Every structure is written in structure tokens, then in C-alpha cells.
Structure 1
Amino acid sequence: MNSITDWLEMVRKLLNVPLIKLKGMEITLWAVLYFIVLFFLLFYLTGKLKKWLVDRLLAKFYVEVGVREAIGTIIRYFVIVVGFVIILQTAGIDLTALNVLAGAVGLGLGFGLQNIVSNFVCGIIILFERPIKVGDRIEVGNVEGAVRRINARSTTVVTNDNISIIVPNSKFVTENVVNWSHDNHNVRFKIPVPVPYGCDVRLVERLLLEAAAENEDILEKPAPGVRFLQYTGSGLGFELRAWTTTMVHRKGMLVSALNFAIYDKFNEHGIKVSNISLRDVRIREGNLEVKMRGGGENG
């Protein structure tokens, strides 16, 4: 029993060894370990708190997922700041004695951590102004995808290839951002359809509208539309314009489905889809002869 008591007394003395002395205040090994353990515990518990707020509590009130994420993140930051101060006080660390140290740290942040601090401030701006939110389809720079997480320093964007791209928050404040679903999820896609001269343009219009109407992902209101945009050297330029809410994150899939449908309908009615003219190139007696063919065929 005495050996255990002696061992505990030795551990107590070891943990109470002062590591730093500031204005009469001693920071012991015990205070450092206490601070580290509780600080990591604080981060873990606030993460659980945010998840409970977002997935359980706020979900009961049918709050939009982007709003829930913003509220949960702001509350987590607030609890971390308050908890950090409480942990320092309970660890026996006098904050007033750390003024000099805090000034040095602040100076270091100003010179060495400018980008991190900038991204953190931009993250707070994003959470309050909400130019983007979780679930939005966005384009910033060369990145296009769905917003999955908005963190203190960066935002996670997932592409259609299921690749996560970590974008610094400052990008969303200092650069132009295309948000496909900022106010609502109604998005209009434009599908160019070139056809050769000589086609029945009214038939082309009807077939394009039929292809759109038969696709379950295309909205009836606003209704799809067809625009006859231009005459080119190789044919006539049409454009199918159709609205969707379900395929905002799958643009390629929707355009592909419509192109398949348009191609099949045109084949049924003998209409070719072509945007290049076929050329015969013949050389006779040193002269170059170019003949156009196929530009005016209707199939």
C-alpha cells in the first residue's frame, strides 16, 4: 500500500513541475495535459453537437439543409470559443498573464498565417451571407460540383466523378461564383441541334419538343422551347431549351438522354444531324478542285 502511495505522490510531484513562469504564475505539466485532453474533448463533443443539431433537432422543423449547416457551424464555433476560455481558467492559467504571449502569437498570425486567417474570416462571411450553401451546384474557377461541407478554412466540393476538391473559402468571396441553385433548383439547359438545309423546320421544332416532353426529368412548367438561331455555312442552327430540377447535378446525363431521343426521332423522319459539310477534293492537271456535297441533302 505504501508503494502505491509513494508512486502516486511521485506522479503528483512530477505533474506539478512548473514548465513556464509568467508574472508569478506557474504553468505545470498537469495544466498542459489537462488543457490538451479537454481541448480535444471539446472539439469532439462540439462536432457531435453540430451533427445532432443539423441531423436531428433542426431537421424536425423542416429547415433547409444549407441553413441547418450554417446554424450548426456557428453554434459550434461559439461553444469552442467559450469552452476554450473555461478550460484555460480551470487549468489555472491566468489569461491576463498571457497578454505578452498573445501579442506575439497575434504578430505571428499576422505575418505567417495570413492565408489561414483570411480563409477563416471568409468562412464566417459565407456562413452569414450564405452565397453558397450545402447542396448547391456551383462553379468557381475550374471547379464545378456540389457543395458538401463548409468548414472554417475551406469548402468541400464533390464533382460528378465523385472526386472531392477542397476549395479555400477566400475563393468564394474574392472570385466570381456561379451558383446554379442559389434561389431555387429550376435550371434551364440549352442543347444545340444543327440540321442541314432543306429540312422541314416546323417538323424539326415538333420533334425537339416531343423529345423533351417524353423525358420525365424535364419540367412542364416552364415549358420547353425551341429556338431557330442561325443560318450557317453547313446548315441550320436550332436550340432546345428545357428546364429541370432533378438533374441539376447531372447535366451530362440529361443532355445525353435528350440527344439520344432527338437522334432517334430524326432518324425516323429521315432528318440528318450534321454540322459539317462533306467535301470532295480532286486534283486534275495541277489544279485543285473542291466540290461540296451533302450540305443540302435531307436524307
Structure 2
Amino acid sequence: MMRPLISLIVFLTLLMAAPGYAQESSQELQVITTLADVIRPAGLFFSFILIIVVWIFLNVIKKIVTELTDVFAERRLLFQKILLFVQFIIYFATFATAILLSFDISKELLAIMGGTLAVAIGFAMKDLAASIVAGITIMFDRPFQVGDRVRFGGEYGDVINIGLRSVKLQTLNDDVVTIPNNVFLSDITASGNYGELDMQIQIEFFVDPHQDLVKAEKIIRENAALSKFIYLNKPIVVNISQVIMENFIAYQLTLKLYVLDTRYEKNLQTDITLRVKEQFELHGIKLPSLQISNERLRVS
């Protein structure tokens, strides 16, 4: 009694939503009729109840895990992994149970579900296949290697893993960023060290245009060589250029040197910056400022 009624409701709904439905192929109509015939109204109701019960159960489990992580902080990651695994199992079991309760499994239904599943897998596999092909290309072309410090898509950090599907990048903030391999084929990647431990970095200093630039350059070079994080087997270079900062002029001194290990990049920058600042103050070398420039303008 209920199945013919459901068939009629499904048919009328689709007919109202699409006036041109009557002109479509009889094969599509047969698929819709088959779906209506295999639906179990009582099973739909019990499936709805099952989903509510599972949702409540998962919320209770999450609260328990949250309390456990507060008590056993050192086991937090383990509890989260277990929770994720349990959730996946429950989701799968609930979905399978709901399907079995709501539909009368038949050859026709299996054929329809199989076709839908094949299309879904095809779309999902398209991106996966592209990433795998890109991963193989990266392994042969080697634009970067594991351990390289690279800059890509706004992210900057060390490559910790190159897989068939993705590359894992650990940023200087200790975040692990996962990037699909196929993205690397269409964008520019900069590798700072390319398989070496040492890497060139730049540190910029600015001084007032009326200061002794020769002395400032000497201070920067000498203090750079004193840092324990510098790689002395490669040259230390200081380039000087004139720049306009807002509405006043300054001199930019760019220090180029090599860090002993990419892990010490920020340590080297901090060490040299503190040393140079202290020596600039000791020798009376002033930094550029709008106040100094305005005072000179008034005097002139």
C-alpha cells in the first residue's frame, strides 16, 4: 500500500520540478521508479532514530575524551587518534546499517548504487592520480629535496616528507603544512639550500644618510663574523644602497652571509642584529628617523 504511494509522490515531485521531464528517456524514469519501490518507510524512520542516537553517543564520547586529555595531558595525541579511529568505524557502521534498514536491497538497487559509486570514485581518483603523477615527476626532476628550506605559496619552512600524494612542509612556527604534489607543477618553488646544510640569508640595516657609512659597514661585517651560527667558509658581503623611506632618505646596508645550518636561521639574525645595534649605539651611528630629517630641514 505504501510503496505505490511513495512512487506516485516521487513521480509528481519530479514532474513539478522539471516540466520537461515527460520528454526524458524512459531509462531515467525506470531508475526513479526502482528507487521508490525499494524504499522501506519503516526503515527510514528507524534510520532517523539511529542517527540521532549515534550523534548523542559521539558527543558523550567526545566529552569523555576531553576530560581524559585534561587529566592525562601527555596522552592527548593518543586519545585524539583513538577518537578519530572510533568515529570512523561508527560512521561507517551507521551508514551501512541505515542503508540496510531503509532500502530493500535488490539487483536493480545494487546496479544504481554501483554506477553512482563508480562516478564518485572516478572524480575522486582524478585528483589523486594527478598528485601521484606529479609526485613521480618531483622525485625525478628534484626541484627540492627532503631537508630543504623552501618557499611556496606563502609558506616557508623545511621539507620533511615527499610522498606520492603530497609534500609535508614544517614551517618556522612548527606547523606541518600538507601540499598536494600536483600544485607544485603549476607554481614557482624557491629552495634556499638545495640539499646543503648551509644557506644564504640577508639581514638589512638602515642608517641616517649623514653617518659614517664606512664605519657602519665595518661594524656589520666584524660582528657578523663573530656569531657562532655563521658558516665562515663562504663570503660575507655588505651591499650599500640609498633608499627613500616615506618622505626622507636613508642608507640601506644589506648583509649577505651563510648560516651554518638552516635550523639556526632566526638565531643568526637575532644574534647579529643585537650585536650591530649595540655597536651602533657605542659608536654614535644613528638610525634614520623622520624627526632627525625634519630638524635638518629646519636648520637648512
Q: Does 1:267 align with 2:281?
A: yes
Instruction: Please give the TM-score of this superposition, normalised by the length of structure 2.
Output: 0.54
Pick closer, same or farther for the CA change 1:235–1:132 going to 2, 3 Å: closer
1:132 corresponds to which residue? 144
CA contact (8 A) 2:204 2:255 kept: yes
Q: CA deviation at 1:293?
A: 1.8
Instruction: Please give the TM-score of this superposition, normalised by the length of structure 1.
Output: 0.54
Q: CA deviation at 1:210?
A: 1.1
1:239 corresponds to which residue? 254
Map 1:12-161 to 2 at 5 A: 110-161=122-173
Q: CA deviation at 1:198?
A: 2.3
CA deviation string 1:116-147 (max 9, x = no partner): 11111111222232222211111110111111
SS at the partner of 1:243?
strand
Pick closer, same or farther for the CA change 1:266–1:294 going to 2, 3 Å: farther
Pick closer, same or farther for the CA change 1:108–1:121 going to 2, 3 Å: farther
CA deviation string 1:36-74 (max 9, x = no partner): xxxxxxxxxxxxxxxxxxxxxxxxxxxxxxxxxxxxxxx
SS at the partner of 2:294?
strand
CA contact (8 A) 1:191 1:241 kept: yes
Could you tell me which of 278, 282, 285 is aligned with 2:291?
A: 278
Q: CA deviation at 1:251?
A: 2.9
Q: Which amino acid is the alignment partner of residue 157 of structure 2?
A: G
Distance in 2, matches of 1:224 and 1:125, equals 36
Q: CA deviation at 1:204?
A: 0.8
Could you tell me which of 204, 212, 215 is aligned with 1:203?
A: 215
Distance in 2, matches of 1:133 and 1:119, equals 17
CA contact (8 A) 2:148 2:195 kept: no
Structure 1: gaps (5+ residues): 1-103, 280-290
Q: Does 1:182 align with 2:194?
A: yes
Q: Which amino acid is the alignment partner of residue 201 of structure 1?
A: L
Larger helix proportion of the pair = 2
Q: Which amino acid is the alignment partner of residue 278 of structure 1?
A: Q
CA contact (8 A) 1:122 1:170 kept: yes
Instruction: State percent identity of aligned pairs.
Output: 22
Structure 2: gaps (5+ residues): 1-115
CA deviation string 1:162-206 (max 9, x = no partner): 111111111222211111122534422221211113212211111
How many residue pairs get matched?
Answer: 183
Root-mean-square deviation (Å): 3.0
Q: CA deviation at 1:105?
A: 9.0
Q: CA deviation at 1:296?
A: 11
CA contact (8 A) 1:192 1:240 kept: yes
CA contact (8 A) 1:134 1:149 kept: yes
